Structure 1
Amino acid sequence: MNWHPEILLYTRLRKSPYFHASGRHGVEAYSVVNHQYHPRRYGDPIKEYWTLVNDVTLWDVGAERQVEITGPDAWEFSNMLTMRDLSDLKVDQGKYALITKADGGIISDPVLLRVDDQRFWFSTAESTLLVWAYACAHWSGMDVHVQEADISPVQVQGQKALDVMVDLFDDSIKDMRRYWSKRYELDGMDVVVSRTGFTNVAGYEIYLENAKRDADKLWETVYEAGQPHGMRVTGPVHISRIEGGILSYDADMDLDTNPFEVLFHYPWLDEIDQEASFIGQAALKEIRDKGVDRKLVGVEISGPSVGSYIDGSMPEVFPVHRNGTEIGYVSSACYSPRLEKNIGFAMVPVDCSDNDITLQVETRHGMETATVVEKPFLGYQG
């Protein structure tokens, strides 16, 4: 099947504050994220991948909206909203903060930044989180204000990302640890810079306040600073995120999956025992104690290249078989140029989740052999 449908540009879908600035670089394909147009690629995904690995890339990620929580009860409310324990979260610190519903299913997987004592940003690509937060605030009776703030990020990702950031700001950024942030003023614009990103290489996000006013200015400022370092505008490089074991909501997790199925190797799952209660806590404790029936594991897949994930080569999940019976599915897969093999994530029964177990995966090329392996496939390269 060789589909090449266009995506309609019209008023019903929202547009990132960077829509026109990022569009000037020649977007070849958009997808829809958070009810917004999201540049997915500008050219050959493999060339974009190598630019990330060797140089530096600039991404329009304005579809990541900031669900901002403020007010006297902002900390208590934010802690109730996420399964992460925020008791040790300092101002300027962040966390990968899963949001779960009462039965433990995952609603969203934002990055949370504490930008002030009682000001929290949940940076989310899922539109459901905003209305969920509105509802939770209403029914909790807590003294908080919930809004979608006029704050939009861009990502600077790649081997030379730090060089660009030093040129934009100053040497103080060299000391920034992962999941920490710092406020800067950049040519009259107020920004918060965090050491975060959707890749397994060095990367930063620049959160622009007053984004509707200053988006074009920020974009051109960052792009100009990146030119001496070989910066290229790309979409999110999914090959790198798959190599790094980074999951994508609505692909690898959703409302019908829980953290113990998809993130079973994360040590902070123990935070469900925190003293403060959060939505889904009782269910997650029960799931942990009972054990799960399936897990999202890493797999290496034989055969020809399965593509780069964002090139139209994987419109549906790949069925997973064992002994002639369909037992699960591959949710994300790609060919890794650095590893020179096909890799992906497979949701399989627990008794098929041990490393070195052999499975069969039905790719677009036919039935191929797959081997369960440890993830991430490549550790953090920053």
Structure 2
Amino acid sequence: MANKNFGFGTQIRKSPFFDSTVKWGATGFSVYNHMYIPRDFGDPEKNFWNLVKTAILCDVAVERQVEITGPDAYKFIQLLTPRDLTKLAIGQCKYVLITNSDGGILNDPVLLRLAENHFWLSLADSDVLFWAQGVAVNSKLDVKIVEPDVSPLQLQGPNSGEIMVKLFGESIRDLKYYWLREINFDGIPLIVSRTGWSSELGYELYLRDGSKGNKLWEKIMLAGKDFGLQPGHTSSIRRIEGGMLSYHADADINTNPFELGLDRLVSLDSNINFIGKDALKKIKQEGIKRKQVGLEIDCSDLKGPNTTFWTLFSETKKIGKVTSAVFSPRIKKNIALAIVDIEFSQINTELNVQINEEKFKCVVVEKPFFDPKKKITSTSF
């Protein structure tokens, strides 16, 4: 029987879905944005195959929302991100970066535009609420910034679309990739978006009333029963296959967008003003000194994701580090994301990685490792 006595006090929050996740088999949790997130529903490889073959439901209430409203909300959001938002429509979502004055990445959230001057930043693991409130103090813009009672679930996998039809009817088929819709589901207020952290077809259901968390979870699991839906957790295997970033691992405050190949998210040539613009112009002009790459590691199958950064060598010279690594049972290879000195970033460059006390050969390869054109997530179901 699962241990229900998780917790170290009230400073680490439980999600509105916590009781249901324990009931459905969650036995291990970690902390993300000051909240417990389920990390263990049994074998992670089985969780991966559930995701890519049928569907999984994940408690990602840890993706806390920073809500920005007020007459100057749009101007303020544009100040926070280097991505040009002039074409962001009401009801649309965009993957954005939040940068500081040095061009360092503070977060890589999904931005949702609910109304003309109503936005959510759906966060990776860092305290953007404090950053945004601090920026607002000196911005002279009329905005209100709060963390609302909003908690997302992720329904991901090839059968997720049919489960959504079972839940919400045929009209949900029209929801396009990276768009959102407001839904009242049997008295449960939701924002539903076609997004997710899985590189598979998927949806996020943003619960707007925390008291209804377990009720929502149970309704989704019931609707998914005939479609092979399983309770699950975000899959490190699939997200590394898809080349998706994990903040604090693959990016942090000392990483800039160009090092990660995210130039498309930085608009330096337009008239928009944002924090870090001058610094990013300088970095672009001078050129980056290191770059994120994909690696294949030649060693026995990794037994799980790395829990420390692994040093990379060219002969005896330290030239970078592995940030995320895992064995992919689909590709049947050890794959990794790494950051290396720019001169060692070319495809087919051979390097060595130190894992514990041993060194193994590895080679720089194209990323993402699977579905490079993202056909899975963007096509209709």
Common fold: TM-score over 0.5: yes
Work out whether 1:285 is the aligned partner of 2:281. yes
In the alignment, which residue of structure 2 is the partner of 1:359?
351
- Take 1:125 and 1:268, find their aligned partners in 2: how far apart are those partners? 19
Q: Which residue of 1 aligns with 2:330?
A: 338
Task: For 1:1-382, list aligned pairs within 5 A.
Answer: 8-210=7-209, 212-262=210-260, 264=261, 266=262, 268-309=264-305, 314-364=306-356, 366-379=358-371, 380=374, 381-382=376-377
Q: State how far apart, in whole Å, the 2-side matches of 1:235 and 1:132 are.
A: 28
8 Å CA contact 1:35, 1:127 repeated in 2 = no
> Secondary structure of the equivalent of 2:161?
helix
Q: 1:253 to 1:224 in 2, by over 3 A?
A: same
TM-score by length of 2: 0.94
Give CA deviations for 1:264-313 in whole Å, capped at 9, x if unaligned: 1x45245233312001111111111111100010001111112331xxxx
Amino acid aligned to 2:72: D
Q: How many residues align?
A: 370
Tell me, in whole angstroms, the C-alpha distance in 1 between the residues paired with 2:263 and 2:176.
Answer: 19
Q: SS of the counterpart of 2:313? A: strand
1:126 shift after superposition: 2.8
- Deviation, structure 1 residue 12: 2.4
How far apart are the structure 2 equivalents of 1:242 and 1:22? 24
Q: Which amino acid aligns with 1:62?
A: A
Task: Specify the code of the residue in structure 1 equivalent to 2:95.
Answer: Y
Q: Distance in 2 between matches of 1:221 and 1:364?
A: 45
Distance 1:188 1:194 in 2: 18
Q: Distance in 1 between matches of 2:320 and 2:96?
A: 27
| Runs (4+) off by over 6 Å | none
The one-letter code sitting in structure 2 at the alignment partner of 1:295 is K
Range moving further from structure 2, 170-179 or 142-151: 170-179
8 Å Cα contact 1:155-1:204 kept in structure 2: yes
Q: Partner letter of residue 356 of structure 1?
A: N
CA displacement at 1:182 relative to structure 2: 1.2
- Checking the alignment, whether the CA contact within 8 Å between 1:41 and 1:236 is kept in structure 2 is no
Distance 2:301 2:7 in 1: 30
Distance in 1 of aligned mates of 2:94 and 2:304: 28
User: Larger deviation: 300-309 or 150-159?
Assistant: 300-309
CA positional deviation for 1:142:
0.6
Unaligned runs of 5+ in 2: none
Residue 365 (structure 1) shift: 7.7
Q: 1:342, 1:289 → 2: CA distance?
A: 35
Query: C-alpha displacement at 1:15, in angstroms?
Result: 1.5
- Judge conservation of contact 2:106–2:126 (CA < 8 Å) in 1: no
In 2, distance between residues paired with 1:271 and 1:170? 39
Pairwise CA RMSD of aligned residues? 1.5
Query: Secondary structure of 2:352's partner?
Result: strand
Distance in 1, matches of 2:267 and 2:346, equals 25
